[in-house]
Structure 1
């Protein structure tokens, strides 16, 4: 009865959630809240909470559950939570990270940089009974839930709740005197375009002081790694779970450099994206463990199929620290290197791999062959959807089903007078849609010229939940940025091109690409160029024999 009652109460509104948190807090060391939290509590005074419901919720929290955090995730829309990176960590991941942290039982202080409802703070506080807790959170509702959870768990006396931004945190010496500091948590994932300019300047300033590379495209989790390096001292340890994309992307250079040069990474554990480690949230997950001042000669890299396989974050493939410093992308370190078969080379030795042109406004620049607004001479049949390649099979045998890209010359004077009149009328219409002011258009030499590449003899998909499709293109279709084009470095016969495409198709897997949430695999041109293929001798053997 009580269980049903409290679940029904928490299923209501955020005001009820605030009222529940306030009922648990009432008195105690964490009852003194910030001004914005106080306003939330005042707004929820009209929501009385039955004592039996409060008791049931307290019992669940004391038993290790997070009914308040679960209710928060249900009540606040995902789109709103994404603005602040509020994706709470499933308990199996929390338990594995705390188990790793427990290898250092002498930790004097635990810092949870983006505490949310306190899942890491509570689990680490229970496991490391002598440590002081510092839980940092900026969302007012999450702060109230955090305080309530700590109070119900009996950890309030050992905890300092910081209502603010982790990037502004300054640690005192109180907990440090007891032993090393342990950093643990799930730094929020917020895209770069949602980060204020003043914080981007903070990133540049702090990174430059450590002589580290920095990108304005870095997400908020990168800032948290940097702030941890600023706060940490030799002997401190940490474990963070984040999106795995920093292992490979350009903005991840800063994290990779921090881990090698300042945070002293010990191991990285990547959960297979198809496992959807954060449930409905389509994101990848990598757990990074580090020990400041203990730069081990080798670092463990491990991929696990599910969160149940994480264990205490041990084992993995040993990779030398020197190799980490040399590698531009780290995902490939999860797999042991394989030697290509005899007579095989990397695709890049035979072909350049180029992504197709970006139109910047597909609704304007992609049309049908029957579009009479535009001269036929500037309409180019093109692969504009990946499924067109998947459906084509081994060869693109017809251009009939393809749409056309409008690719105008930079010098419109090349057009016949009748064509020029049609084009200028079309461009006036495009300008009225503000196409010329778009980011891509502004960075072209002439905003109206898409700049399609020449037809590629082989066209390949590069992003899907399946291996790439490699399709021969004898009819000369163009392609936009949904596909890569393979361009031979030296002339190749049609039969050699056929055999190359067949070999790529026969050996195609998702290995070697970047894997995103839900198993989506992406091959950048440089990654596709590393695929093993038969060398020239094998491809031309039949030609020579003939």
Structure 2
């Protein structure tokens, strides 16, 4: 019978599949088969592995066994395929066992090969060994270390290692990757694999404590809501040494969710993030888990000035994971949602960059009660030091034209200091009276006020040199803020990442007024077009040099 590629990328002969399928019908049968293939010749079996092996021999004939060995030697994984057939995804979910297709493994090992030659290969959740064996073939002189918590998976791994003749290079550790220790080795270590996909409610409390304390020791915060892949990134940072490198495929939610902030911090400080490749959901990188995949490449100990990010629509587009749009370290550090940064931009012409490379875009503060915090200057009895002329309506920017030249006509936002003790005498009396009145109106009980560091302190940002509207039935207004006005959440402030001359700021504003259309934003029912801060940062603008030279079109 002709051979075929199964749904997970293994090359398996049809006849061998038929014989294996009809004769290996239980986990006991699979354990017997692993022993027949030589699992006990790879290191010393643990008590947990020995307990799985029945006394009887495998029911497969010598002919089928020979074909099975050839399939494994060609890179197939019939043992893993059989395991997935015997156990449903629900059965495998507690251990987070998902199996990766061969084309993804090929792309990840190709990236590793482009980084150099490792002395050692480590797979943090080896399963039946798809990654470990592919990397071992790619790097024939490297030792291999596999961490695996499931005894039957460890038996499959040992059997695959034995059939490939790699037992002299292999060290299989039945145990948790977070407890793994590695001896010193001459040369770099490659970390590669598919960390188990386990959600936080299935993780033991002592490991959650380990995550919090280990992250804290590195100066980072961690959340007990983190999935197991977050734990494995941290464990890798602990094990790795400068010069080591690695690539993992995981679910992609760590790019956006709060508990994923630890991974984002590690990639910018310690793990040395190189690139992230987000797989389109239609690719279904894990046949038995409904999640979007992300391949992350890193070089331990490096301090990246930028990382490459991209979305991939087809596995055939992965290549050697060398492509991607460079995003600066500063921009990544400021962003709490990295997936937004993977969205495809129009092709950027030479001499142009994204606005986010020049400026951070921040929405204005939310007061929580404009009727209290936003007042006319002549209608409130408070010291001038807590009254800030501010743009509080979008029409103020639309009517300003190119420049907001004066604060005259603007309302003020009352922004009290967090520490009221800095106010003296009459100023403190006026503020205390205002606070008592605000409390009578239960302003302090509102959601926004209650979540602030001090409920009475709005926390206005500094004045931005450029202000922009962000939601209207017309293109946004971009206005030079010569009045040094503050802004609340009806506008965005554009804050230069480095000092820009007035000429550059003027020309940047002029360019944005002519170049940005409603098509650049997100349109909602009723015709409203909205620009979120990160979307506005994706607008393509001339470089500083071009703006200085007066290029605004």
Question: TM-score surpassing 0.5?
Answer: yes
Asked whether the 8 Å contact 1:348–1:529 carries over to 2, the reply is: no
* CA-CA distance at 1:295 after TM superposition: 2.3
Does the alignment pair 1:214 with 2:234?
no
* CA-CA distance at 1:322 after TM superposition: 1.5
Asked whether the 8 Å contact 2:40–2:158 carries over to 1, the reply is: no
TM (norm. structure 1) is 0.62
Asked whether the 8 Å contact 2:23–2:59 carries over to 1, the reply is: no
Does the alignment pair 1:37 with 2:49?
yes
Q: The residue matched to 2:83 in structure 1 has which SS?
A: helix
> Which one is further off, 7-16 or 70-79?
7-16
Q: Residues 285 and 508 of structure 1: is their aligned pair in 2 closer, same or farther, counting only changes over 3 Å?
A: farther
Q: The residue matched to 1:12 in structure 2 has which SS?
A: coil
Match in the other structure for 2:25: 12
Match in the other structure for 1:380: none
* CA-CA distance at 1:29 after TM superposition: 3.4
Aligned 1:147-546 pairs, distance under 5 A? 147-173=158-184, 176-177=185-186, 179-335=187-343, 503-505=523-525
* CA-CA distance at 1:509 after TM superposition: 11
Q: The residue matched to 1:213 in structure 2 has which SS?
A: coil
Q: Give the gaps of 5 or more residues in structure 1.
A: 341-345, 354-487, 491-501, 513-525, 533-546
Match in the other structure for 1:3: 16
CA–CA distance in structure 1, aligned partners of residues 65 and 218 of structure 2: 49
Q: The residue matched to 1:246 in structure 2 has which SS?
A: helix
Structure number with greater Rg is 2
Q: Deviation digits for residues 72-131 of structure 1, max 9, x if unmatched? A: 111112112111100011111111000001123421000000000000000000001110
CA–CA distance in structure 2, aligned partners of residues 10 and 351 of structure 1: 67
Q: Residues 510 and 148 of structure 1: is their aligned pair in 2 closer, same or farther, counting only changes over 3 Å?
A: farther
Q: Residues 104 and 527 of structure 1: is their aligned pair in 2 closer, same or farther, counting only changes over 3 Å?
A: closer
CA–CA distance in structure 2, aligned partners of residues 154 and 352 of structure 1: 68
* CA-CA distance at 1:4 after TM superposition: 5.1
* CA-CA distance at 1:332 after TM superposition: 1.1
CA–CA distance in structure 1, aligned partners of residues 285 and 70 of structure 2: 27
TM (norm. structure 2) is 0.61
CA–CA distance in structure 2, aligned partners of residues 210 and 228 of structure 1: 13
Q: Residues 231 and 3 of structure 1: is their aligned pair in 2 closer, same or farther, counting only changes over 3 Å?
A: same
Asked whether the 8 Å contact 1:10–1:71 carries over to 2, the reply is: no
Q: The residue matched to 1:102 in structure 2 has which SS?
A: helix
User: Runs ≥4 in structure 1, deviation > 6 angstroms?
Assistant: 337-340, 346-353, 506-512, 526-532
Q: The residue matched to 2:525 in structure 1 has which SS?
A: helix
Q: Deviation digits for residues 254-278 of structure 1, max 9, x if unmatched? A: 0000110000101111111122222
Q: Residues 349 and 128 of structure 1: is their aligned pair in 2 closer, same or farther, counting only changes over 3 Å?
A: same
Match in the other structure for 1:377: none
* CA-CA distance at 1:325 after TM superposition: 1.2
CA–CA distance in structure 1, aligned partners of residues 274 and 110 of structure 2: 15
Asked whether the 8 Å contact 2:24–2:59 carries over to 1, the reply is: no
Q: Residues 46 and 231 of structure 1: is their aligned pair in 2 closer, same or farther, counting only changes over 3 Å?
A: same
CA–CA distance in structure 1, aligned partners of residues 530 and 168 of structure 2: 51
* CA-CA distance at 1:244 after TM superposition: 0.2
Asked whether the 8 Å contact 1:347–1:530 carries over to 2, the reply is: no
